[in-house]
Structure 1
């Protein structure tokens, strides 16, 4: 049997860090994930998925994540239930994450405009970085033969 979930989305608000009575850290947050289609009004819809992290991962998420931050979450789907104050059984479906990856720098803005890339660099700086990188990259010849002597090969 297999129960694995991988999600990429943005936090709807800052994570909430709490501790159990035995001192175990637990963090809850919600990911907003766009659906791949538009509704009849031409608007994109989103799903809001609750995520729970435990222990060290919970503290890391609470310290470094914030509203609007793009993350990838890997974990398992869990359905739990409890009885509310009115005696009704309430079911909760959530992702229990065992891996959270931060997909952008902490200084990046959630709304990406045309003047900045996802990491907050203006296009001019980005293009000069790529140009400098290509000058020192021996594989930047776009498929042209590379002049390497047989003495340089390890085999």
Structure 2
């Protein structure tokens, strides 16, 4: 049977295992998007000819904003998110996805500060959020043209 002091000592060791000391290698910034692909994913190349896939996810804020002073509501707003994937194994899969697919996407993100020497009207002169693909799940495939035609005939 364990003595009270031994159990307290053991539990203290357990507490130390979950220290609140910051660990730089565990820092993370993640963004989850649930929306629709705005267009088919595109294969692109960096300046050094490294292949990557770029795709865009449209999300709409829901519920819509609260009513204003007159009692009317503004329309829900759509936001377009550009995501980049540098993983060759995933890129082939991404390129098969179609515009309109409803997707669940996990990304890592990095906030990039503007270049102080750049024109503020250019992308380089503005703060940017860089979204790097981590995972994607297709929740619903887009309707094909033949499905839409069959439904309209019914």
What TM-score does the superposition give when structure 1 sets the normalisation length? 0.56
Instruction: Find the partner of 2:46 among 10, 13, 20.
Output: 20
Matched residue, 2:143:
109
Question: Does the alignment pair 1:4 with 2:38?
Answer: no
Match of 1:59 among 70, 92, 103: 92
Question: Which residue is equivalent to 1:138?
Answer: none
Provide the rounded CA distance (Å) in 1 between the counterparts of 2:119 and 2:74.
Answer: 41
Segments of 5+ residues of structure 2 without an aligned counterpart are 1-26, 66-71
- What's the CA shift string for 1:34-71, capped at 9, x where partnerless? 1112254453222222211112223321x212221111
Structure with the higher helix share, 1 or 2 = 2
Structure 1 unaligned spans of 5+: 117-155
Q: Deviations over 1:82-140 (max 9, x none)?
A: 659965533321321111112224xx329xx9x98xxxxxxxxxxxxxxxxxxxxxxxx
CA distance, structure 2, for counterparts of residue 55 and residue 84 of structure 1: 31
- The 5-angstrom pairing of residues 1-150 of structure 1 reads 1-39=27-65, 40-41=72-73, 43-56=75-88, 57-61=90-94, 63-80=95-112, 83=115, 87-88=119-120, 89-105=125-141, 108-109=142-143
- Which has a greater percent of strand? 1
Higher relative contact order (CA 8 A, sep 6+): 2
The match for 2:7 is: none
Larger Rg: 2
The answer to whether the 8 A contact 2:28-2:108 is kept is: no
User: What CA RMSD, in Å, does the superposition of the two structures yield over aligned residues?
Assistant: 3.2
TM-score norm. by structure 2 comes to: 0.57
